[in-house]
Structure 1
Amino acid sequence: MSATVKLNFIKVTKPREFVVHVQLAREPVNAFHAEFWQEYAAVFDNMREWYGDVRAVVLSSSLPNVFCAGIDFDDLLDLKKSTSSDAARTAMVLRRYVLAFQAAMSSPERCPVPVIAAVHGVAYGLAVDLIAACDIRYAASNTRFSIKEVDVGLAPDIGTLARLRHISSNASLGAELAYTARTFSAEEAFNLGVVSRVVEGGMDEVVRETLSLAEEVARKSPVAVTGTKHLLIHARNHSVGENLEYTATWNASMLQTEDILKAVLSAKSKSHKDVNFEPLPTVILPPALKPKL
């Protein structure tokens, strides 16, 4: 990690080769205010520049009983105080705020490598927006979810509604949970399709499982994994025909990688040894484009 990067609300470690562990760490309940979500976005948008050869990321909480309890409403009230008495001008301020917040919570999606959410304990409101933007979601059996926004008088606006139909397999249940804000278990989240695995236990157990998964992903060709993530997101947002055409164009370049030869030779040798894939290049942003922390 660059010595110039100072993080106040997020812990970042590299516990295994090519794997970064990002932990939400704002006591007491990981409630997000503007500085927190700006820092969060900066970590994911600068993942390779700050942390080197990263091939998979685990996102979790450092708090034993809470993944994330949602938004910091004191921050929201402070924003409201700064708005104008004119309705149109107030709308412009709030719209800009919401768009920036949405962009920050979408940063795991922009991250070029897979992001695996390890959820445990309380996961309310914004927590669902947050994990919906991750590639893979595991939940500890003690997780309690809630799409909480209607209970505080607003519609979810940071990503849950936009992504729920893409990450869930039961539209009726998803609508029920969004309309009622009722608490639901990890098992129900699994049945909904929001998480792909329920891990018995709590924080330690789910983090251990997701780190093992991240390590497995990190052993694969980074060209193949990054390309797969990019094409999966493209497929979500386009028709089958459009995605097939785009994939052909993408792979016209990517099929020229040396990673294919290395992977095939390793498979033929039946040695089952990890292949030494070269790291992907790091894109260094000019200072004017770097997020300010």
Structure 2
Amino acid sequence: MTAMTDLVALKVDRTGPVAEVTLLGPSKGNAMGPDFWRELPLVFGELDADPGVRAIVLTGSGRNFSYGLDLPAMMGGWAPLLGQDSLAGPRTEFLAEVRKLQDSVNAVARCRTPVIAAVAGWCIGGGVDVIAAADVRLASADAKFSVREAKVAIVADLGSLQRLAGIIGEGHLRELALTGKDIDAARAEKIGLVNDVYADQDALLAAARELAGEMAENPPLVLQGVKDVLALNTEQRIADGLRYVSVWNSAFLPSKDLTEAVQAFMERRKPEFKGE
């Protein structure tokens, strides 16, 4: 697997027909910086093409799944494209950047091999986008989830708004997305975000590996067929939604509130939004 040799943000292990993909960071809390977004589609593309891989477990290193988008690492490259007076050229470049990130998450959803997300600790923003693209989600009792983009003056644009309605229902999705609130593992299980909750991280990983092994025992072409048939119900709606939100954000994301959100984040204070 040539793409797997120099990974920085991800690690891939194999046990028989089950591959385990682990988020490594390198930022605190496995925050998702440029390396992560570059490597995610490479890893899932290679695993998808490997007939020896029949199930995949996706998890995070350390105590947390992911703090989500690494704002400091990503905003450096985006800042010139997000000026409040930026014209069509920079905004078109930013549109391409958003769609590149969307394609990274889509690589998880497109993978013909079953994907099980095993979430311990925090799973925020982009982390929720990624687990929403998995087939099954499991959690440890200490897991916490947040569709937090609204709190940093961003409309979530990497898949949560498109995929979660079919997982947790639109009412729960609207509550999470409009408040940016945190929910614990018990609430996540109650609304269907995760299938089961386990006592701790060790029990979670053992359960995820066992479930992956159970899936891997079934005929691989049938598993691919199940995923393909199920995707028919949602694939076009999700694609349309992703395309729309990428255009929306390229037009409306630059704002004084976004600048305030980034400054408040860096200064570790509560932002003061003014709708500007």
TM-score with structure 2 setting the length: 0.80
Consecutive unaligned residues in structure 1, runs of 5 or more: 240-293
Check the 8 A contact 1:174/1:192 in 2, yes or no.
Answer: no
Structure with higher helix content: 2
Q: 2:122 maps to what in 1?
A: 122
Check the 8 A contact 2:11/2:23 in 1, yes or no.
Answer: yes
Q: Percent identity?
A: 31
Give the whole-Å Cα distance in 2 for the aligned partners of 1:4 and 1:212.
Answer: 24
Give the whole-Å Cα distance in 1 for the aligned partners of 2:232 and 2:171.
Answer: 25
Question: Is 1:36 matched with 2:36?
Answer: yes
Question: Is 1:196 matched with 2:195?
Answer: yes
Q: 2:262 maps to what in 1?
A: none
**Equivalent residues, number:** 234
Q: 2:12 maps to what in 1?
A: 12
Q: 1:112 maps to what in 2?
A: 112
> Which protein shows a greater Rg?
1
- Aligned-CA RMSD value: 1.9
Q: 2:261 maps to what in 1?
A: none
Q: 1:87 maps to what in 2?
A: 87
Q: 2:230 maps to what in 1?
A: 232
Q: 2:159 maps to what in 1?
A: 159
Of residues 206, 209, 213, the one that matches 2:204 is 206
Which ranges of 4 or more aligned residues in structure 1 deviate by more than 4 Å? 1-4
Give the whole-Å Cα distance in 1 for the aligned partners of 2:167 and 2:88.
Answer: 35
Q: 2:72 maps to what in 1?
A: 74
Q: 2:53 maps to what in 1?
A: 54
| 1:37-75 deviation digits (Å, cap 9, x = unpaired) | 1101110011154x5500000000111x11000111122
Check the 8 A contact 1:45/1:110 in 2, yes or no.
Answer: no
**Code of the aligned partner of 2:67:** A
Q: 2:143 maps to what in 1?
A: 143
Query: Alpha carbons of 1:4 and 1:224: their partners in 2 closer, same or farther (altered >3 Å)?
Result: closer
Query: Alpha carbons of 1:148 and 1:4: their partners in 2 closer, same or farther (altered >3 Å)?
Result: closer
Give the whole-Å Cα distance in 2 for the aligned partners of 1:95 and 1:139.
Answer: 33
Give the whole-Å Cα distance in 2 for the aligned partners of 1:180 and 1:26.
Answer: 27
**Code of the aligned partner of 2:214:** E
TM-score with structure 1 setting the length: 0.75
